[in-house]
Every structure is written in structure tokens, then in C-alpha cells.
Chain A
Amino acid sequence: NSPKAAPAPVDHGGATYVGEAVCIACHATQNNQFMHTAHANAFRLNPKNEAQKVSCESCHGPGSNHLKDPISPSNRGSLVGFTKEWGTPIEKQNAMCLTCHQGEQRMFWPGSAHATQNLACSDCHNPMAKLSETGLLKKATINETCYTCHQQQRAEFAKRSHMPLPEGKMSCVDCHNPHGSTTKPALKADSVNELCYNCHTEKRGPFLWEHAPVRENCLTCHNAHGSNHDKLLTVARPFSCQQCHGNPGHQTTFFNAGQSVGGGAGVNSRVLGRSCQTCHSQVHGSNHPAGARFQR
């Protein structure tokens, strides 16, 4: 199979199903964990088809060839395993998962960033143990699971201003679909702004007087995860505003250390506190008829 193909039927080499009782006879330890998973409850308490009724073999494939030589590494091809040690090809592992998990939120898995990186479902999920409350993840939480590869984002959430992930009030999956989406960063919306508006609905507008970069992309001024600056800004105010505003007057004033209180002779309100937003407080847009400069 090529790496990013739609799932193909898995060839089990003519093996037949032996039933989970046979599996559990040797794998009682695994079963003590598996019995608490959503898979086990679905397969054992309310199976929807014959494939689910065979429980263990629903995912690992029919076990008869495995029973012929359950020890020898050379016979590992007789079962589908989901660990690096077992060595089942990624495409074969994922195809087993996708036999039940096609469509829905996995519609965009083929061609997704994670699929392009040749990730297996079991790189994030552990179907055999209930480590997380749902999702059968390899770690106890969504965020911990993502951080195992996305260490850069973990560092950003530790910065001065950040989204409330370390405090347990948000998860990566609030914004991203790890199974892929129509956007490059796997956003759960058609655009960055549509995503941000899910929680920041007051900034959705549309407003009477709009601010061009606000309407197009929140990330023009803000970092998505965390920042050394207030309000997740990409750079400290007033310099952030001066990246675009070159109009005559204070927009082009050279602001400096001499303008903070006690810094020198020329204290400037634009260097203090919320900087430009002390006056231009409606920077995301104003609905006041006099709000062209976002002051009301």
C-alpha cells in the first residue's frame, strides 16, 4: 500500500477467528485493562456486526495463524500489532482502525499533516488501556498526548500570556482536529477567525468601523498559544501597532525608554499600560458612529 492511500481491505493470509476466550487464556493481563475501554464495552455489550463480536480479533485480525507459533518473531505477521516492537506496517495498522472509524471527524485523515508524517493511529491512541477518560489516548489527557511531539507548543503555553491549557480548562482539540481538516494547521473551522470567534464571539462583529487585519486574521497581531507579551501579542505595544501605522503624528513617534514614568523627561501615555489601546480601546472594531479611530 502507498503511504497515503484510502484504506484497503486487510489481507490476513487465510487465518480464521478463534474467539476472545482463546486470546484471554494467554493475555489475561491485557484483558484486565482492555475490559475497561470503550472498545470492550462496545464489542462485548452491544456489538453492531460480526466483526465487532470477535472482540480482540476485530482489531488484531483472525488469530489462527498466530496460534500456530505465538512466540517466534518471524510469525508476527500473522497478527496486526500496534506497537513498534511488533512491526506491523503503519498502513496495515491504520487500515484496521479505519474499517470501523472511517468518515465523521476522520474524513480528512488521508492527506492530513499527521498522515503525511506517516503517523499511526496508535502513535496517539492506546486502544488497549483506559489511560484517558475518552479517546483511548496514549496519555492521560489530550494535551499531554499532543505535547509528546509538539514540545514547542508546550513551551508557548508556559509563557506570560497563554491559553488556559496548563490550568486544565482547554485542550488542543478545542481548536485543532488532529485527524485533519480543510486547513493546513488542522483547524476545526474554515479559517483562523471563524475558529477564534467560537469563544470570542464579541469580536465577531461585523462592525460599523472595522480594522482590516482584525477582519482577515487574528494572528496578524496575536500568537495563538502563548506570548512573552500581554494579550498574546506578537510584539510589545506600541511597536505592534507601528508595524502597519505610518501616518503622520503619534503613529510614527519613536517611542523609547525615556517615555515611561521615571524614565526621563517625556512621559508618553502610549508607552504606559495598555499603550495605544488606552485611547484606541475598540481596536477590534467600533460600532459607534464616531468610532473611525476606535476611541468610542
Chain B
Amino acid sequence: LGVALASTAAATPFADSATGVGTVLGNTMSASTTKARPQDPAWEKAKHTPTGQMYQLPFAMPKAEDIKKLASGWEYSGQVEVGFVGGDVDERNAQFRMYQDPDNGAYVNNFSLQMKKPAGGYFVELTGGGAGQHDQYYGLQFGRYNDWKVKLYFSETPHVFTDRYRTLWSGLGTGTLTLLPGLTPGGTASTAVDNASVASVIANTPLTTLSLVRKRSGVRLDADLSKTWKGYVSYALEKRQGARPFGAVWGNNPGNTPMEVAEPVDYSTHDVLAGVSHVSGQNAFNFRVSASIFQNHISTLTFEEPYRIANVAGVTTVPAAGAFTQGRMDLAPSNQAYNARAEYTRAMPDFYRSYLTAVVSFGRWRQDDSLIPYTSIPGIALANVTLLPGGGWDTTGSLSRQTTGASVDTRLLDLTYSINPSSDLNLKAKARYYETDNNTDPFLAVNPNAVYTDADATTAGNQTRGLTYEGLTGVWGRLLNDGSGQSVLLGANANPAGNVAIRSSPFGNKQFKFGPSADYRLNKISTANLSIDREINARENRERDRTWEDRAKLGYVNRGLKNSSLRVSYEYGQRRGSDYNSTYYDENFSSALFPIPTAAGTNVTSWAVRGNNGMRAIDLADRDQHVVNVRLDTMLRTNLDAGLSLQGREAEYPNTTYGLTGHSQRSANIDLNYQPSPKQTIYAFYSYQLGRLRQHSISSQGGAAVTIGAVTPLGTITPANAIEIGQAPGGPIFPLLNAWTVRSTDRNHLAGFGLKQELGKGAILNVDYSYSIGRTRIGYTYNVGGAINAANAVFAGDRMPDLATDVGFLDASLSIPLTPRISARLFYRYQKESIRDWHYRNLAATPIVPGANAAALPNVLMLDAGPDDYRVNWYGVTVQLKL
């Protein structure tokens, strides 16, 4: 019984299959614990599911006479499994500890208590495991069978991001990162000295782990309110605390001296869920309301920086050298989400056994955090700009509004009507409308309390004025990176000065999907199904107003093949859309403030510089897609079954010249299961996956001009065609010689086998092994002298080094009954992972990637050395005691 009840740790869903997350309580040991359970010796022959898969032989369960009874009428059983874990399990490798947290020493693997009072049908169930570890879990259920129940639970999930972070700061996990001793906020007069100081701190500071722990606790009540009504209400609190790798950059776009800082995580999420359901006669009805309140207890991250960041062009006189002592990030804002949902089904058995299902759902996401100023550095001044009282860039007076004021409404209407014109034919019509309506006003990047002091486009002499756009007047653009850079329109003199972003785009979309489907019984054993639908997406503020995708899917199911079931389907989808407007976002940039110049010889790059107009965004591009699925389940013998599945997905983007032009995913899988007796179970499986992806682009020609009157391969540039030619492949900015192509190929193998063998006298050996191989090869083509020069081509070659990951897992367990109430379990686990990732090539030894020379700011500070190999042998000795 004790061994049997150990399975309580395996899975205790705390949300149902329709509502909520947190459906299991368990950890890395749960599967092993479950598989150590003995089978029911009386159940000698495995039956098969209607598809033909063998049912797992049932576990040995206590007979009625073996269950203890109290005078109060309560029956109870329970067990606890405790012991010691040893070996290399203290390994801190991030890959090893990503979602598990075993450690050397005493270990409470799991415990459970089950109580039942037959008189009245009351029950209590308690379960838990991993006590004291960051993957621990606990659950308590009590109630009355078939009437009501209360569930309480707590579960922790660790997430380790890296164990090789070289910190330059104290205060990790807080909103303030203070440079360690030896480093100077804002740097010194000598970058060479700063580089040496950073190197010294890195060399003398232990590696740090960046991780967070997700702690979720909750309570849920389910109750039958009447014979036809049920209700539930739940509350969950999830806390996430820790830190994760993050990044910050300085200066103008594209920026310089990027460095990996650590983002603090201190989140709370409150989830409230309540609903009722009704089933009566031909009617079924569900109603649910939910609220999710997310709180970030650290709203900003202020971090000192160890280098001397110089003013960039346009940032004048102040701040003085060394004034950029710190930066400030605005972290994920607290937000709220609400939803109400109603579902109704009406069956009409007397009218061709038809039914109607209708769903309506309304939701809102809100976020209204107070905005912070552009910078925390005081006294920043810009060329040709005078700040009015209250307009300092380090004050919120420089903002066009004080809070985010963002909200998105979601709306769903889903209808299905099903009818059976004959006993062999079922027809359905489905229609779905889903909308995310973004009600957020665009944010205007303008300092309303600042004016220009240069000459404007219309009046001689210097003026004191702002520029007006969308009803706001002021100085347009924004400081970058705490004022160490700027993207501000530095004058009212009709020059948009390149890509100055002045306006945000709130995004939303409306999805309408509709179509019929039919299922037809071909004979007693097989059916065919056909579905056709069209999905229309209308988007707010995207390059393409509308896309529509037509899909047709044909399926065949045969359950009557000799000892087998076959399922085959093929789907074709074709997505097209309205005109693709590559210049859609022009209204968000400073070129929208001025008409394009017309004078011959004028460089109008600022108006024509947006992007390659041959590129198509992935989610908007025309697409032709084929999807094939084949599945065969067969009973090779009464105690041996096999499952074979094949999947193929091929997508081409026929009208995309640049960007993602095609991808495919193929997989083949086979499973074998052999259950000759309750004393022996053997399984094996293998999966192969091949994923391919192809994309194209053109490296832009740095400093290229789009000059009115210039002759190009695409024609003579005029004010009317300047933007088109400027953005066109083959134009002055995107010469075809600079074109390049990348092909990425993922190959994965996963093989596994397992054995469960009863050795006699109740001893059980269980072995599970799996090995996973992942390889990604990224190859490319380019023109020497185009995308890169001949010297760099020597190093570039024709591909990146392969991304390679190998993961091995072995779990072996021997359970030995010592007495009727006590059993011992010995387990051994071997886990290994080797990983090769060119992103982190040589970064362990070279966290400071140097700039041009020792006196220059570094190229980048890569403080995370990345993932590393591990090989862990660990074992445990536990004793299972039953009550």
C-alpha cells in the first residue's frame, strides 16, 4: 500500500481541463516514484484502447480488508518516502538545475495520506514531496464525493538562467545595482584604466547564478449547487523572485558599450476565477469570470556603469565628462486583465439531431503605470533647443503625458451549428470572431516644454518656436539611453534628421473565421472528414490592412483494419492579403513633419530611409502551406503494440523576396510497448525531426544618398519616386550586390527505452533511459565585396559552427519490500548535457570584448559566459513507510 500510494506524488491536477493552470503537483522524482509501483498480479492480460493501444496494467491496490478503519468510521491509508540523496547532485550547472532542485543530504521524496468516511462519502487527501527544495509541492483536498471539494496547493518551480554570470555590481535582484569596489561610476578619464578595473573585478569575483523561483499557491472550491448546477471559485497567488540576464546600451543608435546587467524579478500575480455550469435536458451552459492582477514590486532598475560615456553630437556642453554615472530601465509594468465568458449549447435531437453552440467572451487588459522621465541625469541640453520652465529632460514635464493609459479590449463570438441529415453524415458550420481592440492613444515623443531656437523653414533669422504635430507643439524626438544619446529633431529647419521616432503605434487586430465541415461514415469502420474555412485578419497599424487565409483539410479514419487503426489527414492553406505598404510607419517618424524636398541635388535619404520594401513581415506575408499527418496504431501481438506517426509541414512565401521565404518541419516517430505479464513491461521509442528555414536580406549601403536627379539602375530619382527607389532592392541604399541568404536546418533525434521487471519477492527493477541529439546548421551565401569584403569572407566561410546539444538521462530504481509495511528503494540517476553554442564562443575567457584598442570603449561586456556541459551521477536510498 505504501508503495502504491507513493504515486500520489505523480499527478494531482489542481485545475481542470478547461480552466486555470497548475494542473500537476510533482517534480523531477515523480515519474521515477510512480514507475516503482508494483503491478496488480491478478490482472494478467492487458486490454487495448478502442484505437488499439495497450492499457497500462493497473498498479497493485489495497484490498478492502487491508484498509485501516477508525472507530469514527474513517478509513485511512498513507505513506511517506524519505531517505538520502548523494553523489554529484550538488552540481550547480544552470542546464542541470533549469527546472529541478535536488541536493545532497536528507530528502523527503514524497508523502501521502488518504482518508475516506464511507458513511456520507467524505474524503481527505494529502500529498507532497521535495520538502525544502525549490521544486517542492504540497496539496490537500477534502470534501464529499460527488458533491463538493476544496483543494489547496503550493508548488515551487526553479528557473536557473545561468550559473556563469560575472557580476560587476552588488544588489542583484534589487532595483539598484551598485558597482563593486574598484569600479568608478561614470568611469575615469582613462578608458584603459576602466578596462583594467573591470577585468580585475571580473577576475576576482566568483561566478554568480541568475535564477528565479516561481511559487504558486492556491485554493479552489468546486460544488454541486443543485442537480443541474455546479459552481467553482478559485484564488491563486504566484510569486516570482530572482534575477535574469538583461542588457543595456549607451550612446546613439546603434549604440555603444552594451553590457549585460541583471534584471530583478519580484512579481506577484493574483488570479481569481469563478464560474457556474448547468446541464439540463438539451441545454448546457457555462459562465466564467476571471481577474488577473500582476504587480511588479520593482518598477525600475537603476544601474551604475563603469565607463566614461562621452556626449554625442547634439548633446551640448552638459553633462560634464563622467556625468553618465548610471542608467535606468523601466521594467515590466504592473497590469490587470479581466474576462467574462459564457458558453451555451442547445441540442435539438428531434431536428436531425442537431445542436447549436454559442460562446461570447469579453476581456480587458489595462496598464496605467506612471511614466518616468527620459533620463535621471540632470542638466542635459541639446543643440538648438531651449527648455522652458519644467521642461527638463530629467523631469516628467518633458513628456507628452504622465501615465501609460493603455488598454486592450478582447471580444470573442464563436458559433457552431451541427446537423445530421442522415445517420451517416454530419455537417457543421462554424463562425468565429475574435478581436483585440487596442484603445491606447499613440504616445507622442515630444517635449511640450521646449522650443527650437534656430531658423525655421519659413521665416528668416532664428526663431523661438515648437513644431506642431497631431495637436502637440514642442521639440520632437527623445533622448536615448539616459541622455548619452539622442534621437531628437534638433531644429525646425525642415530637415527630419533621419529616423527620429516621434509616435508609437498601438497594435490590434480583428479575426473572422468561418466555414463548413462534414464527417461522413464510409462504412462501419471508417469515416472521412472535410473542412473548409477562411480566416480574415484586419490589423491596426500594420503594413498590411488585411490578410485572408483559405484552408481545406481532408481526413480519413479507419479503426477496423486488422488489429490496427489508421488516421490520415492533409491540409492546404493559402494566405493572401491587401497591398503591402512598406512606408506605413512613416507617420511615426520625423519625415512626416516636413514635405519631401524637390530641388535637384537634394539628398532626401531621411524621407526614403525606412527599409527594404521587398521584405515582408512573417505574419503578414503571402503563404502557401501543406500539412500532412499520418498515424498508425497496430497490435503486433496481444501483448505488443506499435505506434507510428509521420508529420510534414511545408510553407512557402511566394511573394516574399526578402525576409522569411520558406520553412518546413518533418518528423517520424515510432513507439513499441510490450507487456507480457504483470511482472514485466518493456517499451522503446524513437523520434526524428527535420526543420528547415530560409531567409534573405540585403545589407544596406552605409552612407548612401538618395539624391533628387540622380540616375540609378531603377531610374532617375524624382520627388515622386524617391521613397520608392530609396527603399527598393537594387536602389542606392539596398544594392543587389549586398544580398545574402541564410538557411537554417534543425535535426533532432530522440531515442528511449524502459524496462520494468519484478525480480521475485516483490522486488522491482525499473530502468528508463533516453538520449536526445539536437543539431542546427546555419549556412549562408553572399557576394564577396558586397555583404562583406574579401578579408572577412575568409573568416565567414559558408556557415556558422553547428549549434549542438546532447542530453542523456538514465534513471534506475530498485524497490525491495522489507516487511509488509516497509520497503526500501535504491535509485541511481545519470544526467548529462553537452552544449555548443557559437553565441558564447570564447566568452568564458573573454567577457570584455575589446574595442579598437586598449584605450577604446569595449565592443561589449558579455558578462554571461553562457551554458556549459554537465555530467551528474547521483543516487538515493529511501525507505517507504506506510501507515
* CB atoms of A286 and B277 under 8 A apart: no
* CB atoms of B509 and A5 under 8 A apart: no
Judged by a CB distance under 8 angstroms, whether B595 is at the interface is no
Judged by a CB distance under 8 angstroms, whether B196 is at the interface is no
Given contacts A216-B509, A216-B539, contact A209 B527 (CB under 8 A): no
Judged by a CB distance under 8 angstroms, whether A119 is at the interface is yes
* CB atoms of A46 and B145 under 8 A apart: yes
Judged by a CB distance under 8 angstroms, whether B17 is at the interface is yes
Which B1-40 residues have a C-beta within 8 angstroms of A? 7-8, 10-13, 15-24, 26-31, 34-35, 40
- Could you mark each residue 68-89 of chain B with 1 if its beta carbon is under 8 Å from any beta carbon of chain A, else 0? 0000000000000000000000
Which B772-803 residues have a C-beta within 8 angstroms of A? 772, 774-776, 778, 780, 782, 787-788, 791-797, 799-801, 803
Given contacts A210-B504, A252-B700, contact A202 B332 (CB under 8 A): yes
* CB atoms of B406 and A206 under 8 A apart: yes
CB-CB < 8 A to B55: which residues of A?
83, 126, 129, 138
User: Which listed residue, A116, A246, A277, touches B529 by the CB 8 Å rule?
Assistant: A116
Given contacts A152-B645, A258-B795, contact A246 B615 (CB under 8 A): yes
Judged by a CB distance under 8 angstroms, whether B725 is at the interface is no
Most B Cβ at <10 Å: residue of A35, A201, A253: A201
* CB atoms of B49 and A104 under 8 A apart: no
Which A24-67 residues have a C-beta within 8 angstroms of B? 29, 32-33, 35-36, 38, 41-42, 44-49, 52
* CB atoms of A281 and B330 under 8 A apart: no
**Of A11-19, A69-77, A169-177, which binds chain B?**
A169-177
Q: State the CA gap A61–B18 with chains docked (Å).
A: 29
User: Which listed residue, B47, B245, B416, B837, touches A85 by the CB 8 Å rule?
Assistant: B47
- Nearest CB in chain A to that of B14: its residue: A134
User: Which listed residue, A152, A174, A264, A274, touches B21 by the CB 8 Å rule?
Assistant: A174
* CB atoms of B7 and A133 under 8 A apart: yes
CB-CB < 8 A to A122: which residues of B?
49-50
CB-CB < 8 A to B617: which residues of A?
212-213, 244
User: Nearest chain A CB to B480's CB is how many angstroms away?
Assistant: 6
* CB atoms of B557 and A296 under 8 A apart: no
Q: State the CA gap A276–B814 with chains docked (Å).
A: 49
* CB atoms of A212 and B519 under 8 A apart: no
**Of B381-389, B858-866, B875-883, which binds chain A?**
B858-866
* CB atoms of A105 and B19 under 8 A apart: yes
* CB atoms of A2 and B424 under 8 A apart: yes
Judged by a CB distance under 8 angstroms, whether B133 is at the interface is no
Judged by a CB distance under 8 angstroms, whether A203 is at the interface is yes
* CB atoms of B13 and A142 under 8 A apart: yes
User: Nearest chain B CB to A70's CB is how many angstroms away?
Assistant: 16
Judged by a CB distance under 8 angstroms, whether A6 is at the interface is yes
Judged by a CB distance under 8 angstroms, whether B829 is at the interface is no
Q: State the CA gap A260–B801 with chains docked (Å).
A: 10
* CB atoms of A290 and B480 under 8 A apart: yes
* CB atoms of B48 and A269 under 8 A apart: no
Q: State the CA gap A293–B619 with chains docked (Å).
A: 20
Judged by a CB distance under 8 angstroms, whether A257 is at the interface is yes
* CB atoms of A257 and B800 under 8 A apart: yes
User: Nearest chain A CB to B769's CB is how many angstroms away?
Assistant: 12
Q: State the CA gap A151–B835 with chains docked (Å).
A: 24
* CB atoms of B807 and A287 under 8 A apart: no
Q: State the CA gap A41–B780 with chains docked (Å).
A: 64
Most A Cβ at <10 Å: residue of B527, B610, B799: B527
**Of B179-187, B430-438, B711-719, which binds chain A?**
B430-438
Given contacts A160-B774, A204-B294, contact A250 B507 (CB under 8 A): no
- Could you mark each residue 156-172 of chain A with 1 if its beta carbon is under 8 Å from any beta carbon of chain B, else 0? 10111000100111110
* CB atoms of B13 and A151 under 8 A apart: no
Which B51-101 residues have a C-beta within 8 angstroms of A? 51-53, 55-56, 58-59, 61-64, 98-100
* CB atoms of A246 and B294 under 8 A apart: no
User: Which listed residue, A4, A257, A288, touches B426 by the CB 8 Å rule?
Assistant: A4
* CB atoms of A5 and B353 under 8 A apart: yes
User: Nearest chain A CB to B651's CB is how many angstroms away?
Assistant: 12
* CB atoms of A164 and B157 under 8 A apart: yes
- Could you mark each residue 664-703 of chain B with 1 if its beta carbon is under 8 Å from any beta carbon of chain A, else 0? 0001011100000000000001010100010101111010
* CB atoms of A46 and B478 under 8 A apart: no
User: Which listed residue, A119, A133, A170, A281, touches B8 by the CB 8 Å rule?
Assistant: A133
**Of B197-205, B360-368, B816-824, which binds chain A?**
B360-368
Judged by a CB distance under 8 angstroms, whether A179 is at the interface is yes
User: Nearest chain B CB to A16's CB is how many angstroms away?
Assistant: 25
Judged by a CB distance under 8 angstroms, whether A79 is at the interface is no
* CB atoms of A104 and B18 under 8 A apart: yes
User: Which listed residue, A158, A207, A266, touches B807 by the CB 8 Å rule?
Assistant: A158
Given contacts A5-B426, A104-B230, A173-B13, contact A83 B335 (CB under 8 A): no
CB-CB < 8 A to B120: which residues of A?
45-46
User: Nearest chain B CB to A195's CB is how many angstroms away?
Assistant: 9
Which B390-442 residues have a C-beta within 8 angstroms of A? 399, 404, 406-408, 410, 412, 414, 416, 418, 420, 422-426, 428, 430, 432, 434, 436, 438, 440
**Of B312-320, B370-378, B449-457, B460-468, which binds chain A?**
B370-378
User: Nearest chain A CB to B79's CB is how many angstroms away?
Assistant: 14
Q: State the CA gap A90–B527 with chains docked (Å).
A: 12
Interface bin, chain A: 35 or more
Judged by a CB distance under 8 angstroms, whether B514 is at the interface is no
Q: State the CA gap A267–B327 with chains docked (Å).
A: 25
* CB atoms of B50 and A82 under 8 A apart: yes
**Of B169-177, B279-287, B758-766, which binds chain A?**
B279-287
Judged by a CB distance under 8 angstroms, whether A272 is at the interface is yes
* CB atoms of B373 and A289 under 8 A apart: yes
* CB atoms of B269 and A159 under 8 A apart: no
Given contacts A117-B557, A123-B53, contact A111 B693 (CB under 8 A): no
* CB atoms of A295 and B481 under 8 A apart: yes
Judged by a CB distance under 8 angstroms, whether B567 is at the interface is yes
* CB atoms of A111 and B517 under 8 A apart: yes
Given contacts A2-B425, A41-B145, A271-B838, contact A173 B23 (CB under 8 A): yes
Most B Cβ at <10 Å: residue of A105, A118, A220: A118
CB-CB < 8 A to A142: which residues of B?
11, 13, 23-24
* CB atoms of A83 and B50 under 8 A apart: yes
Q: State the CA gap A265–B778 with chains docked (Å).
A: 20
CB-CB < 8 A to B479: which residues of A?
290
Q: State the CA gap A93–B100 with chains docked (Å).
A: 41
- Nearest CB in chain A to that of B588: its residue: A292
Q: State the CA gap A254–B784 with chains docked (Å).
A: 11
Q: State the CA gap A85–B399 with chains docked (Å).
A: 73
* CB atoms of B50 and A279 under 8 A apart: no
Judged by a CB distance under 8 angstroms, whether B123 is at the interface is yes
CB-CB < 8 A to A222: which residues of B?
none
User: Nearest chain B CB to A199's CB is how many angstroms away?
Assistant: 6
* CB atoms of B803 and A229 under 8 A apart: yes
Judged by a CB distance under 8 angstroms, whether B577 is at the interface is no
User: Which listed residue, B436, B670, B792, touches A264 by the CB 8 Å rule?
Assistant: B792
CB-CB < 8 A to B635: which residues of A?
84
CB-CB < 8 A to B123: which residues of A?
41
User: Which listed residue, A32, A49, A182, touches B42 by the CB 8 Å rule?
Assistant: A32
* CB atoms of A134 and B11 under 8 A apart: yes
Q: State the CA gap A177–B866 with chains docked (Å).
A: 36
Judged by a CB distance under 8 angstroms, whether B345 is at the interface is yes
- Could you mark each residue 300-341 of chain B with 1 if its beta carbon is under 8 Å from any beta carbon of chain A, else 0? 000000000000000000000000000111101101010000
* CB atoms of B748 and A159 under 8 A apart: yes
22 residue pairs bridging A and B, Cβ less than 8 Å apart: A5-B420, A5-B426, A6-B355, A36-B61, A107-B345, A118-B559, A119-B50, A140-B7, A149-B631, A155-B669, A188-B20, A190-B363, A201-B269, A239-B742, A246-B614, A248-B609, A252-B612, A252-B697, A256-B782, A272-B849, A289-B371, A292-B445
Known: A124-B49, A213-B618, A256-B780. 7 other contacts (CB 8 A): A4-B519, A45-B145, A84-B51, A208-B406, A215-B438, A234-B693, A290-B479
Please give me the 8 A-B residue pairs with the lowest Cβ-Cβ distance, nearest first. A264-B795, A258-B795, A45-B121, A105-B18, A103-B284, A151-B669, A246-B612, A46-B121
